[in-house]
Amino acid sequence: MRRPQTHIRLNLRSFGGVFARMSCTLVGTSGAQVPLEDGRAVILGRGPETGVADKKCSRHQVQYISYISSQLGPNPCFLDGEKLSRGQSGKLSHGGTLYLVNQNHPFKLHYSLSSNGRGSNSAQKGLKAADKTKGEREGKESPSSPTPKRSIRDFFSTSPTKIAGFDIDGCIITTKSGKVFPTAPDDWKILYPEIQPKLASLLKKGYKVVFFTNQMGIAKGKLRPEVFKSKVEDILVTLKLPVQVFVAAGPGIYRKPVTGMWNHLCDKANDGVTVDKKESLFVGDAAGRPENWAPGKKKKDFSCSDRLLALNIGLQFYTPEEYFLGWKRAPYSLPDFDPRKLDSNARLYDPPSASLTSIKTEVIVAVGFPASGKSTFFHTHIIPKGYVYVNRDTLGSWQNCVSACERALKEGRSVAVDNTNPDPESRKRYVDVAKAAGVPCRCFQFSATLEQAKHNNRGFSEILQIHFVPNFKDSQSETLYRQFSEG
């Protein structure tokens, strides 16, 4: 079954706080204070931030965002007297109490007026008026002044025709622990001090900064989307820059190096502005670099997906060290198979003097790896000529395949056996059936040299080498196929 194409788009932009606003804090009875920001998800639970050591309280017990609390942990929390079970949400008002688990560990919600000093006087006056009105309503909820909705163009000096794309892990951040993978949601730090000023410089030059990240852990259930979203928001708060973020949360066309996230950005998430690929760029650490690619850099890159994404799109590519630190270009290797070089007009088989089908009864046995084009080839060129199709995927066992082959030959019909048949024993079964019926047996070998086919020959009357020649129903399918993908 084909897995669904999965991606998450996070419309996250941290603008450095240019407006005065109401600040919110959850205050515990132990004196612990958890600051909250409107629109930013905060995960609360057992740990030093809350001072809660109760093991009944999960480390990811509650998510709080924009006055809404959502239960995450297995044990219930309470909003005032209202019980929440896992997956349920409720609203918390000023002065209300959040009990982290089983009506224990209370935290009260407090509002206060705050300003970063850079907001306009009219904005500050408006907030003061709102604060006064809140007091007059005596306990009724008063949400903080919402940040005005803005277009992408409001944050760039020119229309965002130029995109500066970046991977996140290993490019913008690394782990504080020094581990390859983070040990906790807060196990991260900005990779290099040069990153923030470099990104700020790009914004001044009219680029839009966009993060593209693969997070397969979400699809595998190892990473909660809300936890990762909160982590990304914290990264943007640290950078204090406008950034658009795209997350591929599973396999499929959105996962780098396939271009689904980029295409979504260009088609649906750039305010209708056409992106100039010649002026755009991409930076990532999955660059196909070998061991010892630089002094002190002993490990080879785990992947080449970032470099291949840039190749698929047609963007200038840099590694983080090249772009942020000015290092010289590092050596790298691309995959052996390059889908861009396949010729759709190449000869289909060798020797060219052979015939794909016969007017006489025969058995054709395929030999080749899975996904080498066997099924497509048979259904396109052989089965329409009246051959009986024998395949283990549909018949269930090699015994059933042999029996189906015997029945067809008794009826005087030719047979095409579409299995991998990698060893002499599996091929001999059909050679013997053909000999018993007094008909020839031919081998169609896929994705291997003619010399290998001859080496594997065990009683076949002829060997044809079948080349993989792609044939596309439409231009979109061809474009997708000729992109590099994960091995």
Q: Examine the pLDDT at 58 and tell me if it is beyond 80.
A: yes
Burial 307-321 (b: 16+ CB within 10 A, else e): bbbbbbbebebbbbb
Query: Above 50 in pLDDT, residue 55?
Result: yes
The domain made up of 349-466 has a fold known as Rossmann fold (3.40.50)
Side chain identity at residue 153, one-letter code: R
Span of 84-93, 234-243, 325-334 with lowest mean pLDDT? 84-93
For position 39, what pLDDT does the model report?
52
Top mean-pLDDT range of 128-137, 189-198, 368-377: 189-198
**CATH topology identical between 152-324 and 349-466:** yes
User: Which whole number is the average pLDDT over 105-130?
Assistant: 48
Residue 125 has pLDDT above 60, yes or no: no
pLDDT band for 264, please (50, 70, 90 cuts).
very high
DSSP strand pairing (415-417 vs 388-390): parallel
* Closest of 65, 35, 32 to residue 46, by C-alpha: 32
Architecture of the domain whose range is 152-324: 3-Layer(aba) Sandwich (3.40)
**Residue 23: what pLDDT?**
59
Sketch the domain layout of the chain as residue ranges. Answer: 20-136, 152-324, 349-466
pTM: 0.60
Give the angle 323-329-333 at the CA atoms, nearest 5°: 115
CATH number for the region 20-136 comes to 2.60.200.20
Q: What's the rounded mean pLDDT across residues 140-169?
A: 59
Q: How confident is the model at residue 252 (pLDDT cuts 50, 70, 90)?
A: confident
- Lowest mean pLDDT of 204-218, 392-406, 462-476, name the range: 462-476
Predicted pLDDT at 85: 77
Residue 299 burial (CB count, 10 A): 11
Q: Quick: pLDDT tens for 379-391.
A: 999 999 999 999 9
Least confident segment among 146-160, 206-220, 390-404? 146-160
Would you tell me how many other CB atoms lie within 10 Å of the CB of residue 427? 23
Q: What is the mean pLDDT of residues 251-258?
A: 92
Computed on alpha carbons and rounded to an integer, the radius of gyration of the chain in Å comes to 31
* Contact (Cβ atoms closer than 8 angstroms) between residue 217 and residue 231: no
Confidence band of 475 (pLDDT split at 50, 70, 90): confident
pLDDT digits (tens, 9 = 90+) for 285-298: 999 999 999 988 87
With 60 as the cut, is the pLDDT of residue 312 above it? yes
Q: Cβ distance 145 to 119 under 8 Å? A: no
Q: Quick one: tokens of 251? A: 């396999």
Q: 34 or 65, which is more confident?
A: 34
Over residues 416-445, the mean pLDDT reads 93
Average pLDDT for residues 74-97, to the nearest whole number?
79
Mean pLDDT of 85-110: 81
Burial class of residue 138, CB neighbours in 10 A (0-12, 13-18, 19+):
exposed
